[in-house]
A = this chain, B = another copy of it.
Amino acid sequence: MPSVLRKEMFHLPEGIIYLDGNSLGPLPKAVPEKVAHMVQAQWGEMLIKGWNTAGWMAQPGRLGDRVGQLIGAPEGSVVLGDTLSLKVFQAVAAALKMRPGRRVILSDTGNFPTDLYMADGLAKLLDDGYEVRVEDPLHIADFIDESVAVVMLTQVDYRTGRLHDMDAITKIAHAKGAVMIWDLAHSAGAIPVDIAASECELAIGCTYKYLNGGPGAPAFIYVRPDLLDTIEPALAGWLGHDAPFAFDLDYRPGAGIERMRVGTPPVIQMASLEAALQVWDGVAMADLRAESVALQEQFIAQIEARVPGLTLASPRDPNARGSQVSFSFPEGYAAMQAVIARGVIGDFRAPDIMRFGFTPLYIDAADVRAAVDHIAAVINENLWDDPQYKVRNRVT
């Protein structure tokens, strides 16, 4: 098996072991030049003509196709834009229109809060009896009944890494007549996804975690191809119009996935993302998954052997995990600060979760071994109780 390791394509700060690519991917080396070129040679020299001459206008669809390859989406079914929160709103709003007689948006307590907040905001806005029902992720299938308009789940739990069975849950949702939306925030670029095979209607995700697009990189939305001509975009912006530059007074949705576009795309962020996506050329997701699992298994085995104070909070079965491993520790916040101060960057999630992301593009077995050394020192020697580490340093 060819290794997917390609550290040389990333800028990795000296002395840092970065196990937080599940929050914000590191800087791919191709990005600074691409961004500088976009700013200076395109914006600076082409001015307004850049929209066509430099291809800015077509970029959200072009990059959508590239992201689509990583999640098993056919060409023309994914487009980039806005933020994941907004794409959640757009997806749920569109889904509700597909099931006008139903009033329940079903999700689980393992979903990332903004997904729940956006759905809740939509329900309040509609003010027509809609309810966001949030249940236990381990038994979510039991809560799918004929009252459910849409099931919206994040495939990988952001705290524990627990992985939902996408195909099985989608089948159950469809059997009960519900629309299925998958949030791939912690899946895209992390695990193999075959979104088309799942037959879910909609999927959304972000590009600043495992896809390394940069802070605030645009989100993506996938629409199952057979729905593209009838889906109501809800956020009906001019760049989703059939003829944006005709400046008609009336909205007429564009062809295909283009209708899910809203406003003017963030071209500088798009340039960064475009360069970042080059890293994926030649990477087979199956290979990446195998290496991710190997790193996670190594990490769990070594932590459990050397750091008895930590308790595994992720599923033990690697097939039930995404690409991260979490341990619980009562003083997890302080401990993570101490670990970070020693150059191993993971993050903390309330109430007691120490979270570590494994990204085989730039993390190898030697990094894992070194990370375990630092974690062992901090926990076993109670270094987390050292005042020098008690600095408040919130990370997202």
- If over half of A's interface residues share one DSSP class (helix, strand or loop), that class is named, otherwise mixed; here it is mixed
How far does the Cβ of A268 sit from chain B's closest Cβ, in whole Å? 5
Mask of A327-360 contacts with B, CB within 8 angstroms, 1/0 = 0000000000000000001010110000000000
How far does the Cβ of A73 sit from chain B's closest Cβ, in whole Å? 22
Copy total for this chain = 2
A59 to B350, CA, bound (A): 25
How far does the Cβ of A150 sit from chain B's closest Cβ, in whole Å? 14
Contact indicator A48/B84 (Cβ below 8 Å): no
In the complex, chain A residues 120-158 whose Cβ is within 8 Å of any chain B Cβ: 120-121, 124-128, 134
A215: B residues at CB distance < 8 A? 43, 50-51, 56, 264, 266-268
A11 to B44, CA, bound (A): 6
Q: Contacts A36-B32, A39-B27, A249-B109 given: A345-B236 contact, CB under 8 Å?
A: no
Mask of A185-210 contacts with B, CB within 8 angstroms, 1/0 = 00000000000000000000010100
A31 to B31, CA, bound (A): 16
Q: Contacts A39-B27, A247-B113, A262-B85 given: A237-B118 contact, CB under 8 Å?
A: yes
List 19 other contacts, CB 8 Å, given A32-B36, A47-B345: A20-B48, A27-B39, A32-B40, A36-B36, A39-B272, A43-B215, A48-B345, A89-B235, A113-B247, A113-B249, A113-B251, A114-B238, A117-B236, A121-B233, A121-B236, A124-B234, A128-B128, A247-B350, A266-B269
Instruction: Write 23 A-B pairs (CB below 8 A) sorted by A numbering.
Output: A11-B40, A27-B43, A32-B44, A35-B39, A51-B215, A52-B394, A56-B215, A56-B216, A83-B237, A83-B264, A84-B263, A85-B239, A85-B262, A112-B238, A113-B238, A113-B248, A121-B235, A121-B236, A125-B125, A208-B264, A216-B269, A266-B269, A268-B272
